[in-house]
Each structure stands twice: as structure tokens, then as C-alpha cells.
Amino acid sequence: IEVTFDIDANGILHVGAKDKATGKENKITIKANSGLTEAEIQKMVKDAELNAEEDHKLRELAESRNQADALVHSTKKSLTEYGDKLEADEKTKIETAIAELEASLKSADKAEIDAKVAALSGASQKLGEKMYADQQAQQQAAAGAEGGQQAGAESGAKQDDVVDADFKEVKDAK
């Protein structure tokens, strides 16, 4: 039995089945009955327009929560890596700001979340400074070591006594 399925641009399904042994063939067309009427579409559009402002507020709240969550995650990660380089009171201030921001994430108050994000950003400023200072020190140390290697390579090249010469092969006549 060979079965074929064909869906046209209007969403209508055409199914055909053919029995190869007997040569009999049947076809059926399936149409969707559950399409929306024009009145239902207009009602949905009006509902969307009425709720547009509330949807906008909910979107802003979701974006603030996502930003706050990302800040908490990155600050915690940085704190575990570089927290030992901070003073105890600075580390405590950052941990407190993280806890307050995590608590405010459970609320639906965008202004409170934004205020806690600003507080955590300010508290973690010292952590960022320590991270960048540490990274610059590593880069300078790497650049200094690289410069030393290059100087050693140049002096090694001057010590080699290489002479470039041409030669001719001479065969003895015997």
C-alpha cells in the first residue's frame, strides 16, 4: 500500500492510498473546521490593545529581574575568585547587597529591584577594581617575560657564526 500526504497553502490535507496488488485507489480531503471568525480576531486585537500597557510593565519587570539575576550571578562568581583580595568589611557589604537583591527579586516591585541593583553595583565596585588591577599585573608580568625571551633570542642569533657559501662540484677525469 502506497500512501501520499499533501498539505496545500490553505492548510487542507489531501491523503491518497493505493493498493499496488489490486490497483484500488482511495483519496480523502481533510479541511479544518476550527478556524477563527473575523469577529473573534477583532476581539483578540482589542484585548491586546487594552492590555498593552500592562504587558509593557510586565516586560520591564522581567527585564529588570533578568538583569538583577545576571548581576547576582557574575558578582558571586567574581567574589569566589577574588574575594580573598578584598577587606572583610567590603566583602560583607557585597554579600549583604547580594542577599538584599535576591530577596527583592521575589517581589513584583521594579523600582525596588532597580534600587537594589544600583546598590549591589556600587558595593561591588571595589571588587571590579581589584580584578582589573590583578589582570593588569598579570599582563605586565607576561609582557616582561616575553620581552626577556625575545632579547635572549636576539643575543643568541648574534653568537651563531653562520657563513653562506656557494660551491662547485669538480669531477676528476680518470
CB-CB neighbours of 37 under 10 Å: 8
**What does the pLDDT look like over 125-140, one tens digit per residue?**
877 787 787 778 888 8
* 3-class SS of residue 71: helix
Residues in the chain: 174
Domain membership of residue 31 (yes or no) is: yes
46: which 3 cell numbers?
Answer: 482589542
Domain membership of residue 159 (yes or no) is: no
Domain membership of residue 65 (yes or no) is: yes
110-135 exposure pattern, b = at least 16 Cβ within 10 A, e = fewer: bebbeebbebbeebbebbeebeeeee
* 3-class SS of residue 121: helix
Domain membership of residue 67 (yes or no) is: yes
- In tens digits, the chain (174 residues) has pLDDT values of 899 999 888 778 899 999 888 889 999 988 877 677 788 889 999 999 999 989 999 999 999 999 999 999 998 988 888 777 778 888 888 889 889 988 888 888 888 989 989 988 888 887 778 778 777 888 888 777 665 555 444 554 555 677 777 777 777 765
159: which 3 cell numbers?
Answer: 653568537
Q: How many distinct structural domains can be found in the chain?
A: 2
Backbone angles phi, psi at 6, to 5 degrees: -140, 125
Domain membership of residue 9 (yes or no) is: yes
Q: Which domain holds residue 80?
A: 58-129
Query: Are residues 83 and 20 part of one domain?
Result: no
Domain membership of residue 115 (yes or no) is: yes
Domain membership of residue 84 (yes or no) is: yes
Query: Are residues 28 and 62 part of one domain?
Result: no
101: which 3 cell numbers?
Answer: 537583591
Distances (CA, A) of 142 to 108, 137, 147, 151, 152: 48, 9, 9, 14, 15
Mean pLDDT score across all residues of the chain: 82
Please name every residue paired with 2 in a beta bridge, in sequence order, or none if there are none. 18
Backbone angles phi, psi at 146, to 5 degrees: -65, -40
CB-CB neighbours of 165 under 10 Å: 4
Query: Are residues 114 and 62 part of one domain?
Result: yes
Domain membership of residue 173 (yes or no) is: no
Query: Are residues 121 and 78 part of one domain?
Result: yes
Query: Are residues 13 and 64 part of one domain?
Result: no
Query: Are residues 69 and 24 part of one domain?
Result: no
Please name every residue paired with 4 in a beta bridge, in sequence order, or none if there are none. 16
Which CATH number characterizes residue 124's domain?
Answer: 1.20.1270.10
In the chain, % of residues over pLDDT 90: 24
Query: Are residues 89 and 27 part of one domain?
Result: no
User: In the prediction, which pLDDT does 27 show?
Assistant: 92
Whole-number Å distance between alpha carbons of 12 and 30: 6
Query: Are residues 77 and 19 part of one domain?
Result: no
Query: Are residues 75 and 28 part of one domain?
Result: no
Query: Are residues 66 and 28 part of one domain?
Result: no
Query: Are residues 81 and 18 part of one domain?
Result: no
Under 8 Å between Cβ of 53 and 65: no
